[in-house]
Structure 1
């Protein structure tokens, strides 16, 4: 799997979207835009391991561009009152997930700016709240 992932990110970057480990079925699932050369590489690299290949809409490289674009525009979105909480490219190549307080508002605003075909997937999300620091309950050393 490591060999497939390294080659996917490097030599086959225009095709590779991501990899998933299905522990229950004891197999790896490689998501990629169709590529005969990459499929041949996967077949040879898999040896006796079970590797399933599935089509992806976008490569990891394509999604990285969209991720970075939305990330760079965070100050703009904050100024417009669109509260984006998280951004992350999906390993299956479907798109970039944008977590927002109001997912429908984010959908309207971001697609108006980036175009209706932008590979963005909107999810409702609350802001991250850090856990409070643990309080120390260490007893003082015994007196001698």
Structure 2
């Protein structure tokens, strides 16, 4: 059987990704404390919805500089670039080389 915190996390993820994509940044489940932490760009509407609906477990709201949608776009661009030998790959190789030379 799923714990209440896992059920809440699934619901928050669905809500965040569908209705509050400009704000939702991710979440963390703390099973030891039975606590759910939601990372989000501050949004009065999202915060109010979370506080009104997530009542079965302790809820912690943490500010995040980026929403998950934006982070996924950056990830997509880096992955695309890494397959084409673009700037991220060359920067990564230069960094590894500098680290090796310094060490």
Structure 2 unaligned runs (5+)?
1-7
**Runs of 4 or more above 3 Å deviation:** 77-83
1:47 to 46, 51, 55: 55
CA distance in 1, matches of 2:89, 2:63: 38
Return the structure number with greater helix share: 2
Q: TM-score, normalised by structure 1?
A: 0.54
Aligned residues: 88
Alignment of 1:87-126 (within 5 A): 102=96
Maintained 8 Å contact 1:28/1:50: yes
Contact 1:3–1:45 under 8 Å retained in 2: no
> How far apart are 1:48 and its partner, in Å?
2.9
TM-score (norm 2): 0.74
Alignment gaps of 5+ in structure 1:
84-100, 106-144
Match of 2:92 in 1: 82
Larger of the two Rg values belongs to structure: 1
Corresponding residue for 1:18? 26
Q: In the alignment, what sits opposite 1:5?
A: 13
Mapped pair 1:58 → 2:66? yes
For 2:42, the equivalent position in structure 1 comes to 34
